Structure 1
């Protein structure tokens, strides 16, 4: 893999990518009205407008309804990808063909190369070992014309790129990842990982939330898994036959010694460091820990005895972007180096509307905040995806970006605008207060309540005791202090309005019952969200979800003083 060539010749590669995309697509119905068949870069920049999803949705829908692919794409559309809908609102569908999954495979291979380069084999020089990878497929739907509609993870698991991958380093057989029942799949993933505990060198999932959810699941089912291992028999409720046969083969008969070892660790009073206690050869945990997933870092550190957290790649349903070239960096220092051979990337200064100057990938400036515009091979041209990134540096001639926030993810009850970045900063400061107690924050979301005057921010928190046998008893003093610390962490405008004219009310934390956020996930999954791609929304907009959360509230706490200016 010639990373030097890719990252040193970014400008030329990007120009070649745009030329190829325009040559393929210039005669599509969408692009022809702007380019009249030309593949000229300057004409593209002059004539093709910057768009949002609503602009291109009618064209996508026409192809989904059965019109020819050349409405938007010069090559046949073979399916549609469903966005998660949990980070930016409603779900969207995007046209794709096999190139998308080839790009995913390329990013995964690059990720593996970087891991092997930075994280060495064990002292005996043995092979890298196996990864407990939490992949979940969900049932595909079909468009009116019969093309599959799936999440990017499901699409990848069904693709030739996955089926024909060079080797399988996962503890689970493919039948587990492809099992359509989430509970059965999660159980079998963890059971296979436990059965092969001495071979596991990493735990991995698309997002940190999935890993925390897996450990919570393990707390409920470890005794049953130990029984399966002890007697070499899989639980009867695992009814997916292909999955059942494959996992039974992994179990391979009775193993009382292993069952005793697992039981001894899981029976201890605290699950602190449980990951390294169950899988002593684990060298790193791999999942996205940037953006809204940063809230799970303290939980993962608690469970893993601070094993290194590797945030590997940046991608979306619209395109893959790039990789973290420094797997050993701290979570707060993660940047992603864009790969110039995947799509054509342009950038517009963040929050500058349509007035800002659009620059190419190699012309971004260190320290500046940008929103990426995507031109891909299958129908998106100068598409605003809504992420805000900051340029953190360059790898050769290739820029590196820090993920900052989703563009429209804000709270506001008055004139103030509170961004995702503001919320996560406030939350991180509050978790430092929680550390002084024996409580862990396992899930949160928030919304701006303007149903009463003055309006105020409400944060829903799910808490957990560090010791398994302890009952969660949130103390008034600690939680009120958390409210105050969060307010102190918010913007100067928020603090000014809150302190001076009282048109923002006291910030509130509502503590919910344990298991609430797992049930919230199930609600979103039942509405079409992907188990592999699910991220708890930072800001809740669904009235159904808010009603559910309120039905599970155990206690309410408010800041008891105005924040300092």
Structure 2
């Protein structure tokens, strides 16, 4: 895989040197391929001969523009948005609103899969080759097929579809048998991922889509330490685990009694769980998981268990597209990949205009913030992804970006535009000030009073005395004024009231995760929404569990 990744790296370097040419080539491949589709005929793809003509002929879109087309495709209609057949419909996490169904074709999957499967591993090797041991990884992923469309096409998460496509090679690279990835119950799946990983003393890395997934697994390790030791000692899965009999039978065949390994693990567990990962997996060299931006609140908690094993945030991707890849372990930034989709970028200051000017991959300015627009092989044309990024450098001739926030995951009551980054920065400083251990959080715009205010729902590992909450509120409010100067101005002129804090009971956010899974969100795609406006079910859970 590392050798194959070297070949992909050479192509990647060639493509990024010629980013504009490669990216325009992608656009015209997409237009030519889909010119006879219903959408292609509507916008006369055959007549488009330049990027400027494409921008003039085809409007900027969002998901609502595609719902009627996708409904036709779900019924089995062909040649609607694309001429290729749909392999599966990927459903998004629904963090920022209603779950979207995104068509995925063989081509749209394959253009990104070589980067996910090979180049990520190659870049990890490039950064850590002096420690490399060629061992397997613990991959916290699932392949649960949620349902099927009326036309018989699977509907699942993009992660599920991707894993299912490479299931033949999974045992060679990951510790978990394929059957574990098919288990629907979140807690049972995490337990089994850990059980099989504990069998492998030479584990090289732990990987999850998001760093919050990794943290959930490490908390499961601590909570189930005794049972895990017992199952390894006996070489069979305990009867308390919520799995069906056939799955249990298959997985038990993969286990055998291992008293020696059980004794080793039990001894390390008895010493406590700070730095446990380095002790039970002495060859563990990195964690591969998306972090940074709003996910960075989980890093310190993961570091507690891992002994600060490096966290490599390998890729920037969505259900709609594979967008960027990170060549560095020491930095969280992504190089835009020129050959997966065609890109346009709207400067943030112009993103609210009716027909904003867009810029191509080689026209961006370092230090500027942009909203990303994509045209994909799977039928989205000039589509607003909803992500805001900052250009921090160039890698050859392709932009290096930092992800900042989702556009509709911002608090914006009086045009103050408080982003996830503002929330994260102010919360991190407040938690540090009071020496607290934050489990998770979300926020709400509250217009029931005048002036309006923000409400924070916070879960902590420790009990917070009621007498302390007002001090935390005032500190958090001051930190938020520093993080977002516009918020500070509106607070000073009494356009916004001081924020309010609701402390929720332990495991409240775990209840929210289980609720999201019950609604069809993949276990590996769960993201806690940072703004919960219009999410009444989640708000009810929070209010029911407020102290």
Normalised to the residue count of structure 2, the TM-score between the two structures is 0.92
Alignment partner of 1:120 out of 129, 146, 169? 129
SS in 1 for 2:366: coil
Pairing of 1:525-536 with structure 2 (within 5 A): 525-536=517-528
- How far did residue 134 of structure 1 move? 0.6
SS in 1 for 2:47: coil
Tell me which residue corresponds to 1:65.
75
Alignment partner of 2:500 out of 493, 505, 508? 508
Render the CA deviation track for 1:487-529: whole Å, top value 9, x for unaligned.
Answer: 343422322332333x422222222111110001111111222
- Aligned-partner Cα distance in 1 for 2:180–2:450: 51
- How far did residue 408 of structure 1 move? 1.6
- How far did residue 130 of structure 1 move? 1.7
- Aligned-partner Cα distance in 1 for 2:56–2:159: 36
Render the CA deviation track for 1:404-436: whole Å, top value 9, x for unaligned.
Answer: 1001212134443212221122122223224xx
- Aligned-partner Cα distance in 1 for 2:474–2:205: 37
Pairing of 1:466-505 with structure 2 (within 5 A): 476=468, 479-480=472-473, 482-501=475-494, 503-505=495-497
- How far did residue 247 of structure 1 move? 3.5
- Aligned-partner Cα distance in 1 for 2:518–2:189: 16
Q: Does 1:204 align with 2:196?
A: no
- How far did residue 395 of structure 1 move? 0.7
Q: 8 Å contact 1:14–1:341 — kept in the other structure?
A: yes
Pairing of 1:345-360 with structure 2 (within 5 A): 345-352=343-350, 353=352, 354-360=354-360
User: Structure 2 vs 1, CA of residues 474 and 527 (structure 1 numbering), >3 Å: closer, same or farther?
Assistant: same
Q: Does 1:252 align with 2:245?
A: no
Tell me which residue corresponds to 2:386.
386
- How far did residue 73 of structure 1 move? 0.5
Alignment partner of 2:234 out of 231, 235, 242? 231
Render the CA deviation track for 1:186-210: whole Å, top value 9, x for unaligned.
Answer: 11101111121x2112111000111
Alignment partner of 1:35 out of 41, 44, 54? 44
Q: 8 Å contact 1:483–1:509 — kept in the other structure?
A: no
Q: Does 1:372 align with 2:372?
A: yes
User: Structure 2 vs 1, CA of residues 474 and 335 (structure 1 numbering), >3 Å: closer, same or farther?
Assistant: farther
Structure 2: unaligned runs, 5 residues or longer: 1-6
- Aligned-partner Cα distance in 2 for 1:509–1:336: 35
- Aligned-partner Cα distance in 2 for 1:421–1:200: 34
Render the CA deviation track for 1:105-160: whole Å, top value 9, x for unaligned.
Answer: 212211011111111254xxx7421211111233321112111111101111222x
Q: 8 Å contact 1:131–1:200 — kept in the other structure?
A: yes
Tell me which residue corresponds to 1:468.
none
SS in 2 for 1:388: strand
- How far did residue 485 of structure 1 move? 4.5
- Aligned-partner Cα distance in 2 for 1:176–1:78: 23
Render the CA deviation track for 1:171-223: whole Å, top value 9, x for unaligned.
Answer: 11112112233222111101111121x21121110001111111222222111
* Number of aligned residue pairs: 531
Alignment partner of 2:196 out of 176, 192, 195? 192
Tell me which residue corresponds to 1:454.
451
User: Structure 2 vs 1, CA of residues 13 and 411 (structure 1 numbering), >3 Å: closer, same or farther?
Assistant: same
- Aligned-partner Cα distance in 2 for 1:138–1:444: 27
- How far did residue 321 of structure 1 move? 0.8
SS in 2 for 1:200: coil
- Aligned-partner Cα distance in 2 for 1:59–1:266: 54
- Aligned-partner Cα distance in 1 for 2:137–2:250: 17
Alignment partner of 1:265 out of 268, 286, 297? 268
Q: 8 Å contact 2:81–2:379 — kept in the other structure?
A: yes
Q: 8 Å contact 1:425–1:489 — kept in the other structure?
A: no
Tell me which residue corresponds to 1:563.
none
Q: 8 Å contact 1:74–1:378 — kept in the other structure?
A: no
Tell me which residue corresponds to 1:557.
none
User: Structure 2 vs 1, CA of residues 394 and 55 (structure 1 numbering), >3 Å: closer, same or farther?
Assistant: same
User: Structure 2 vs 1, CA of residues 345 and 167 (structure 1 numbering), >3 Å: closer, same or farther?
Assistant: farther
Greater mean alpha carbon deviation, residues 424-433 or residues 490-499: 490-499
Structure 1: unaligned runs, 5 residues or longer: 466-470, 555-565
Tell me which residue corresponds to 1:137.
143
SS in 1 for 2:501: strand
Tell me which residue corresponds to 2:115.
107
Q: 8 Å contact 1:179–1:240 — kept in the other structure?
A: no
Q: 8 Å contact 2:218–2:302 — kept in the other structure?
A: no
Alignment partner of 1:337 out of 318, 335, 338? 335
- How far did residue 553 of structure 1 move? 1.7
- Aligned-partner Cα distance in 1 for 2:193–2:377: 35
- Aligned-partner Cα distance in 2 for 1:487–1:395: 34
Normalised to the residue count of structure 1, the TM-score between the two structures is 0.89
- Aligned-partner Cα distance in 1 for 2:235–2:104: 43
Alignment partner of 1:290 out of 282, 289, 292? 292
TM-align CA RMSD: 2.2
- Aligned-partner Cα distance in 2 for 1:194–1:472: 35
User: Structure 2 vs 1, CA of residues 143 and 263 (structure 1 numbering), >3 Å: closer, same or farther?
Assistant: same
- Aligned-partner Cα distance in 2 for 1:409–1:56: 22
Alignment partner of 1:94 out of 98, 102, 105? 102
User: Structure 2 vs 1, CA of residues 63 and 297 (structure 1 numbering), >3 Å: closer, same or farther?
Assistant: same
User: Structure 2 vs 1, CA of residues 351 and 207 (structure 1 numbering), >3 Å: closer, same or farther?
Assistant: same
Tell me which residue corresponds to 1:396.
396
Alignment partner of 1:549 out of 539, 542, 545? 542
Q: 8 Å contact 1:50–1:382 — kept in the other structure?
A: yes
- Aligned-partner Cα distance in 2 for 1:532–1:181: 12
